[in-house]
Amino acid sequence: MIPRYSRPQMASIWEPEAKFRIWFEIEAHALDKMAELGVVPKESAKAVWDWWATNPPIDVARIDEVEAVVKHDVIAFLTWVAEGVGAEARFLHQGMTSSDVLDTCLAVQLKRSADLLIDDLDQLLEVLKRRAIEHKLTPTIGRSHGIHAEPVTFGLKLAQAYAEFARNRARLVAARDDVATCAISGAVGTFANIDPKVEAHVAEKMGLAIEPVSTQVIPRDRHAMFFATLGVIASSIERLATEIRHLQRTEVLEAEEYFSPGQKGSSAMPHKRNPVLTENLTGLARVVRGYVTPALENVALWHERDISHSSVERYIGPDATVTLDFALARLTGVMDKLLVYPERMQKNLDRMGGLVHSQRVLLALTQAGASREDAYRLVQRNAMKVWESDGELSLMELLKGDPEVSALLSAEEIEERFDLGYHFKYVDSIFERVFG
């Protein structure tokens, strides 16, 4: 966790205190059920919850101190609880194994993280929708290979981003549900010393599904799927960030990240307004993506479990969720306040001398009876002149003056093909598909 790239709500999920609170709840709910089942005294559960009701501060330092001796985090935690509760605490954790607590806690943390990330996505979606509608018919050039192609609208670009992040939202919901399971099944998952009803009770209390078959641990394919999904979302962030970076290039300048009054772009070049937020997002996407492979490598634990996954998760659990939360919020801010320059978009659209309409002319020629090859040749020879003139010449005028073309199409028919509105007739349909 880099403070610079953390937001408090997500970061707090991963703090020791939050973890110990979840541990307590898991242990105490389990104790409740055991008491109900008559396995442990009812007084034990009562004592434990009574102590908790006093709202005892979580003494992380003390727990760490015990762990330094016993080298076991859950035992250290239980020791600290016992110091507060007294003798009744000895029934806690009965028939359970550490991983019952650790893995169920991780499930809670990942679920809570996912919920925050889903909120983040919802906010991003809202902004994207608003700005897409705002620019539904703002003409801009569509580019393939970085080369001017045909007109689109700026709203369409944003509608695409919306659709992509809506898919990501659905994927994240699935990944959250995949990872949100509870296992209270004992040393090797057989429930040898604990009734499966305890697991069911804890699962319900913690908002989790039960893990159908655990083996001391919850299987790590669930976590792999979770982090892989975050990696996909990060890649979508990179896509939109890259779009903004391109639009802000000096030569393009169709949009800009909001530039606050006190901000200095460069210590050396005061005129510079750099797309530093989206460049930063590009880097953060790499970071989140980098956690996918370790998560995949965590799946193949030895036999019923080994603990190699644990250190990996200490890094990537917080880092992937905190970073992605920050990145989504930053992206939402960028898109919310993005400075959009429609005049510049129009200017760029016009700079190619009408080449962007060549496809329509090509079709008109074909429909007028030219073979595909001939039509292509006729358009290309005029298009090349425009291209080489750097937009000084007009494709429309050249076509009108080309005898082979005018043999097939009248001047009026040629002019018709240079109508920008023609390209936008289905924008409403596409918006309907995306926004319903």
Name which of residues 302 to 321 contact its own copies (CB under 8 A): 302-312, 314-316, 319
Catalytic residue among 12, 72, 266, 389: 266
Q: With binding defined as CB under 8 A, does residue 268 bind its own copies?
A: yes
Q: With binding defined as CB under 8 A, does residue 402 bind its own copies?
A: no
**What minimum distance in Å lies between the beta carbon of 224 and its own copies?**
5
Q: Which stretch binds its own copies (CB under 8 A): 18-26, 48-56, 91-99, 113-121?
A: 91-99
Catalytic residue at 113? no
**What minimum distance in Å lies between the beta carbon of 119 and its own copies?**
20
Q: Which stretch binds its own copies (CB under 8 A): 18-26, 47-55, 104-112, 267-275?
A: 267-275
Alpha helices, DSSP H, located in 89-220: 98-134, 154-179, 196-206
Q: With binding defined as CB under 8 A, does residue 236 bind its own copies?
A: yes
Closest CB to its own copies among 126 and 432?
A: 432
Angle made by CA atoms 23, 80, 209, in degrees to the nearest 5: 10
**Whole-number Å distance between alpha carbons of 129 and 134:** 8
Q: With binding defined as CB under 8 A, does residue 246 bind its own copies?
A: yes
Closest CB to its own copies among 339 and 407?
A: 339
What is the secondary structure of 201-227 as a DSSP string? HHHHHHT-EEPSS-BSB--THHHHHHH
Burial 258-270 (b: 16+ CB within 10 A, else e): eeeeeeeeeeeee
Closest CB to its own copies among 55 and 343?
A: 343
Q: For tokens 């006729």, name the residue.
A: 378
- Token pair of 170 as six digits: 């659905």
Residues across the chain: 436
Q: With binding defined as CB under 8 A, does residue 209 bind its own copies?
A: no
β-strands 147-153, 139-144 pairing: antiparallel
Q: Which of 24, 97, 99 is nearest to 313 (CA)?
A: 99
Catalytic residue among 145, 260, 271, 429: 145
**What minimum distance in Å lies between the beta carbon of 25 and its own copies?**
18
Q: Which stretch binds its own copies (CB under 8 A): 30-38, 115-123, 398-406, 422-430?
A: 422-430
**Whole-number Å distance between alpha carbons of 383 and 357:** 10
Among 60, 137, 296, 329, binds its own copies (CB under 8 A): 296
Closest CB to its own copies among 304 and 336?
A: 304
Q: Which residues contact 186 (CB under 8 A, 6 or more apart)?
A: 95, 96, 97, 100, 192, 193, 194, 216
Q: Which stretch binds its own copies (CB under 8 A): 104-112, 119-127, 406-414, 423-431?
A: 423-431
Catalytic residue at 145? yes
- The footprint of its own copies on residues 99-138 (CB under 8 A) is none
Q: Which helix (H) or strand (E) holds 35?
A: helix 16-36
Closest CB to its own copies among 12 and 314?
A: 314
What backbone torsions phi and psi does residue 255 show, to the nearest 5 degrees?
Answer: -155, 160
**Whole-number Å distance between alpha carbons of 352 and 393:** 9
Q: For tokens 């240079």, name the residue.
A: 418
Q: With binding defined as CB under 8 A, does residue 372 bind its own copies?
A: yes
Among 81, 208, 379, 414, binds its own copies (CB under 8 A): 379
**What minimum distance in Å lies between the beta carbon of 259 and its own copies?**
10
**Whole-number Å distance between alpha carbons of 27 and 92:** 6
- The footprint of its own copies on residues 3-32 (CB under 8 A) is 4-5
- Catalytic sites, residue numbers: 145, 266
